[in-house]
């Protein structure tokens, strides 16, 4: 299971948090308390932070959301990493999760960028694309959605689209842009 697919409570047990004073919005009351929150996913070493709000609690929530999405983008599951991109795509089988099957119907995937499960769905989509050597057509077929739906899902997060295109270029494939 990909770390971004873990329930939030379980994901948080694998994270470390620290706070500090940072500049940003808030005027004269800004630097009196440590409102900036830095979250680190310990198994991967991936870090996200938030200094946007004056409230440490709000910054913690934002940092957790950012961390889950960053882990979804930057970390590939063992199944995706162990795939041989040179093997025939017709022979490969990618197993979708129950979460994915609940979110996709009729060649479409429905989820908002702000939904709690977005990071998990994004991680599964990126794992599938990585499994197929960054071939978006084969991945969309395996996920039982259209290619445009796959690109729409990935492009909801600009960093995910950038990583997707970076990986495609490393495989000698052209960059893709959603319509």
Positive or negative torsion for Cα 146, 168, 80, 50: negative
Contact 99, 120 (CB under 8 A): yes
Q: Is position 177 within any domain?
A: no
| 41 and 101 share one domain | no
Tracing tokens 């706070």 back to the chain, one arrives at: 19
Sheet holding 15-20, edge to edge: 15-20, 36-41, 46-50
pTM of the model: 0.86
| 65 and 82 share one domain | no
Q: Is position 176 within any domain?
A: no
**pLDDT exceeds 60 at position 88:** no
Give the range of the structural domain holding residue 142, as residue numbers without chain letter: 78-170
The structure tokens listed for 47 are: 């870090």
Q: Is position 48 within any domain?
A: yes
**106 secondary structure, DSSP code:** T
**172 secondary structure, DSSP code:** T
Calculate mean pLDDT across residues 166-172: 95
**pLDDT exceeds 80 at position 146:** yes
Per-residue confidence (pLDDT) for residue 28, from 0 to 100:
59
Residue 83 confidence class, pLDDT cut points 50, 70, 90: low
- pLDDT single digits (tens) 51-76: 888 888 999 999 999 999 999 999 99
| 16 and 89 share one domain | no
- Tell me how many domains the chain contains: 2
Tell me the helix, strand and coil percentages in the chain, rounded to 5. Answer: 50, 15, 35
Spatial separation of the C-alpha atoms in residues 91 and 93, rounded to whole Å? 7
Spatial separation of the C-alpha atoms in residues 176 and 1, rounded to whole Å? 27
**pLDDT exceeds 70 at position 103:** yes
**pLDDT exceeds 70 at position 135:** yes
| 10 and 89 share one domain | no
């Amino acid at each position: 299971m990909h770390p971004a697919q873990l329930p939030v409570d379980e994901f948080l047990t694998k994270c470390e948090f620290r706070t500090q004073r940072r500049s940003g919005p808030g005027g004269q009351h800004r630097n009196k308390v440590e409102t900036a929150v830095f979250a680190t996913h310990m198994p991967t070493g991936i870090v996200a932070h938030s200094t946007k709000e004056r409230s440490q609690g709000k910054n913690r929530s934002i940092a957790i959301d950012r961390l889950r999405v960053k882990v979804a983008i930057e970390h590939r599951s063992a199944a995706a990493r162990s795939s041989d991109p040179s093997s025939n795509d017709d022979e490969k089988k990618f197993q979708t999760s129950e979460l994915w099957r609940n979110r996709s119907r009729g060649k479409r995937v429905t989820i908002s960028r702000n939904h709690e499960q977005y990071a998990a769905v994004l991680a599964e989509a990126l794992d599938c694309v990585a499994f197929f050597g960054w071939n978006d057509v084969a991945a969309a077929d395996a996920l039982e959605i259209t290619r445009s739906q796959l690109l729409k899902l990935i492009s909801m997060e600009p960093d995910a689209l950038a990583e997707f295109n970076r990986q495609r270029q490393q495989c000698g494939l052209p960059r893709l842009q959603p319509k």
